[in-house]
Amino acid sequence: MEGIRRPGIDERDVPLVGGVPAAASLVLRVGYRGAGFAGFASQPGQRTVAGELERALSTFLRREARVVCAGRTDAGVHALAQHVSLPVSASELRLPERRLMVGLSALLPDDISVSAAYLAPPAFSARFDALSRTYRYRIACGPARPVLAWEHAWWLRCGLDVAAMDEAAQALVGEHDFKSFCKADSSEGRPTCREVQELRVREGEEAGERLVFVDVRANAFLHSMVRTIVGSLAEVGRGHRDASWLAEALAALDRTKAGPTAPAKGLVFAGVEYPLGLLRPWDEARGESC
């Protein structure tokens, strides 16, 4: 689950790097194909995105490196624009972006890609300073098996009423208790209110294949929240439930009242929003700091 509130950056303790206060934070925009990972977060004996990133960064920086991410993804979930942060020293601040990118590319496996580097204040957190996260879920519909979308779409052999799905989705927009739409054992004793800022369902085309896209943006998400929303919307799209049912499921505050959890492979962490000006291009910002 993702954090929502935290003191302002100026009120936080500056983390230490090598026993001295960090000079800044390095923020990386990361993409990954989720099929080969047991999720983002490090787990003993499991291959994870955080584990691979921290191994590469520790080797590159020649010290222990621990990252914080904007939103932890489950096993099998992909990302195009995950953001991770870690504090860096004054000497590390002098590293050119090209050297960072080339070095990390050589050290990371081919299912992880670092596409940009930014500089942020020393106490910055990719998790707690995020204003919103955006996910996209892809569904392939019809009797023909998807080809290029196979690894990142949920194949439903029937058609879907996309207009009904989009109508039903609007009941979830706003600040609500999403206890019905998260993994039951992850919500016990924890707050389950979140603000969904936008939720749209539409048809589109990628690489010559027709797909249904479910795009959702929120201040934060609960465990399996997006996939449960998508599974519930699919029940409406297939005609198993009417559009008003989603509002009833939301009000029930009971996981058993919502639909199934959609497969992980259709979900992509698409982006994260931070306060304007908080992240600055690495080379531009470090040039002013050096």
Residue 284: per-residue pLDDT: 84
Return phi, psi of residue 36, to 5°: -95, 10
What mean pLDDT value characterizes the chain?
Answer: 94
Determine the angle formed by the axes of helices 49-61 and 97-107, rounding to 10 degrees: 120
The catalytic residue among 10, 13, 74, 283 is 74
Confidence class for position 12, pLDDT limits 50, 70, 90: confident
What are the CA-CA distances from residue 272 to residues 68, 83, 103, 203, 279 (Å)? Answer: 14, 7, 25, 23, 12
- Determine whether 74 is an active site residue: yes
The fold adopted by the segment(s) 132-270 is Alpha-Beta Plaits (3.30.70)
What are the CA-CA distances from residue 47 to residues 60, 84, 145, 146, 151 (Å)? Answer: 19, 18, 29, 28, 19
Confidence class for position 2, pLDDT limits 50, 70, 90: low
pLDDT tens, residue by residue, 166-217: 999 999 999 999 999 998 887 677 899 999 999 999 999 999 999 999 999 9
Of the candidates 276, 239, 228, 71, the one whose C-alpha atom is nearest the C-alpha of residue 164 is 239
Domain ranges of the chain: 9-129+274-289, 132-270
Residue 182: per-residue pLDDT: 95
Give the pTM: 0.94
Confidence class for position 10, pLDDT limits 50, 70, 90: confident
CA dihedral (51, 130, 201, 158) in degrees, to 10, reads 20
Residue reference for tokens 């099998």: 76
CATH 3.30.70.580 for domain 9-129+274-289: yes
Residue 278: per-residue pLDDT: 96
Contacts of 52 (CB under 8 A, 6+ apart): 37, 108, 109, 112
pLDDT tens, residue by residue, 235-259: 999 999 999 999 999 999 999 999 9
Residues 128-150, mean pLDDT to the nearest whole number? 97
Q: Fold match between 9-129+274-289 and 132-270?
A: yes
